[in-house]
A and B are shown apart, each in its own frame.
Chain A
């Protein structure tokens, strides 16, 4: 093999970079986000698994529906609990601690929604 002095260190650096997540303090994979369950409510606006994957779509649909189509501001869950279709007055009424609910998952998945540039979060978490 020619150029050993350069090629072997280069390969080691390459493999080191590629495997960085494996050796660079990647933490404990069993440490999971634990979004706080809302007190006094038993169901979300949609099925829980659907909320896990698609809550941003729900929000976006509400926003477009209300602000552009003049859609209803109030709706009911599958079991008849009435809620406001709103980020501040809906989601955050039941999930009233942004840090302990939304933040749990969002920190874990590196998500930083820009909604809070304008929308207010519940007082107690501010």
Chain B
């Protein structure tokens, strides 16, 4: 059920889009109104989520410390895994965002006869996660050809590099194949590994199916069904310049693709996909571990509550302590 329901939801979206593309006015709705709405919800929702996170105070240092902290001079600090300077945090963050460094440390726990618990390194999630995100990025950037005119040179360069293998006509983009392979891996991982299946929720499967649906409709559109790119660019370029209209004969598959993309944009701010913004906001990653150098004061401490030193405490309770046989500093 946890797998089936999200699958049905995505198939329902496809069916709705297919039907809407047939009725008069439906193409305008999916091609013009929905993209603006979805984009606005995406940007607004994204900013809103970040704003709510920013409202949570993080008065104390809670970075995950995966290495030796800054200590005595002859003890070598692990500057990236337990940064105590801004530069260290920036380095850690860059590696995290661009290379998914914490996933690289992913481990796998296995039970062996004995019984013995064994931990092993598990790099496949890191590898396929990285492939997934980078191919997604290239694919999104390649789409800029539909929204800009003149088209920036780097888009052509990406297309050239991506189609370098010159397989078929129109050339097969490597990213398309890797992207689908990586999503399939990310899905199978959740189905095949019993412990991962146990913790997987519809909210994990839904974005995978949705993104897979987007990829499949895009690939069908380019290599199999083929659509009139000139008419499509007229629409999409119109969206970017605020003068969109649906012209020519655009296949229904295009509207299914756009509908799913809009669904993704709308879903994004309310889902786990917000880790895109969240990674920058996570205190366990973006704080320096300098609690031993700087005193961090809780900003909402009640100023009327004065510090209560041990001396005062003992003065207050000396008699009781003596009675209870506790040692006291001053007689």
Binding site for B on A (CB under 8 A): 1-4, 7, 10-11, 14-15, 18-19, 21-22, 24-33, 49, 52-54, 56-57, 59-60, 105, 108-114
Q: List 16 A-B contacts (CB under 8 A).
A: A1-B51, A7-B281, A11-B47, A18-B42, A21-B147, A26-B149, A27-B148, A29-B237, A29-B244, A30-B243, A53-B228, A53-B251, A56-B170, A109-B233, A112-B156, A112-B160
B228–A26 touching, CB < 8 Å: no
Q: Binary interface profile of B, 250-263, with partner A (CB < 8 Å = 1, else 0)?
A: 01000000000000
Q: How many Å from the CB of B284 to the closest CB on chain A?
A: 15
A27–B159 touching, CB < 8 Å: no
B34 in the interface, Cβ–Cβ < 8 Å?
no
- CA of A31 to CA of B243 in the docked complex: distance in angstroms? 12
Most buried by B among A7, A19, A49: A7
A29–B238 touching, CB < 8 Å: yes
User: Which residues of chain B have C-beta atoms less than 8 A from A113's C-beta?
Assistant: 169
User: Which residues of chain B have C-beta atoms less than 8 A from A29's C-beta?
Assistant: 149, 234, 237-238, 240-241, 243-244
Given A31-B149, A59-B169, A108-B149, residue A18 in contact with residue B234 (CB < 8 A): no
B22 in the interface, Cβ–Cβ < 8 Å?
no
- CA of A86 to CA of B79 in the docked complex: distance in angstroms? 63
Interface size class for chain B?
35 or more
User: Which residues of chain A have C-beta atoms less than 8 A from B147's C-beta?
Assistant: 21, 26
Given A11-B50, A21-B147, A109-B233, residue A52 in contact with residue B228 (CB < 8 A): yes
A26–B229 touching, CB < 8 Å: no
Given A11-B50, A60-B169, A112-B160, residue A33 in contact with residue B230 (CB < 8 A): yes
- CA of A30 to CA of B240 in the docked complex: distance in angstroms? 12
Given A26-B148, A32-B234, A60-B168, residue A112 in contact with residue B159 (CB < 8 A): yes
Which residue of chain B is the closest to A19 with respect to CB atoms?
A: B43
Given A29-B238, A110-B145, A112-B160, residue A3 in contact with residue B47 (CB < 8 A): no
B57 in the interface, Cβ–Cβ < 8 Å?
yes
B150–A27 touching, CB < 8 Å: yes
User: Which residues of chain B have C-beta atoms less than 8 A from A53's C-beta?
Assistant: 226-229, 251
B46 in the interface, Cβ–Cβ < 8 Å?
yes
Which residue of chain B is the closest to A28 with respect to CB atoms?
A: B241
B55 in the interface, Cβ–Cβ < 8 Å?
yes
Q: How many Å from the CB of A1 to the closest CB on chain B?
A: 5
- CA of A49 to CA of B247 in the docked complex: distance in angstroms? 13
Q: Binary interface profile of B, 141-168, with partner A (CB < 8 Å = 1, else 0)?
A: 0001101111100011001100000101
Q: A54 contacts which of B47, B144, B226, B233 (Cβ < 8 Å)?
A: B226
User: Which residues of chain A have C-beta atoms less than 8 A from B234's C-beta?
Assistant: 29, 32
Given A56-B169, A108-B230, residue A15 in contact with residue B43 (CB < 8 A): yes
User: Which residues of chain A have C-beta atoms less than 8 A from B159's C-beta?
Assistant: 110, 112
B148–A21 touching, CB < 8 Å: yes
Q: B58 contacts which of A2, A33, A108 (Cβ < 8 Å)?
A: A2
Q: A21 contacts which of B156, B240, B251, B280 (Cβ < 8 Å)?
A: B240
- CA of A32 to CA of B230 in the docked complex: distance in angstroms? 8
User: Which residues of chain A have C-beta atoms less than 8 A from B54's C-beta?
Assistant: 1-4, 7
Q: How many Å from the CB of B285 to the closest CB on chain A?
A: 14
- CA of A3 to CA of B149 in the docked complex: distance in angstroms? 38
Q: How many Å from the CB of B286 to the closest CB on chain A?
A: 9
B280–A10 touching, CB < 8 Å: yes
B323 in the interface, Cβ–Cβ < 8 Å?
no
User: Which residues of chain A have C-beta atoms less than 8 A from B233's C-beta?
Assistant: 108-109
User: Which residues of chain A have C-beta atoms less than 8 A from B243's C-beta?
Assistant: 29-30
- CA of A33 to CA of B281 in the docked complex: distance in angstroms? 45
Given A15-B47, A60-B168, A112-B159: 17 more A-B contacts, CB < 8 Å: A2-B54, A2-B56, A2-B57, A18-B42, A21-B144, A21-B147, A22-B241, A26-B149, A26-B241, A28-B241, A29-B149, A49-B228, A52-B230, A53-B227, A53-B251, A105-B230, A110-B155
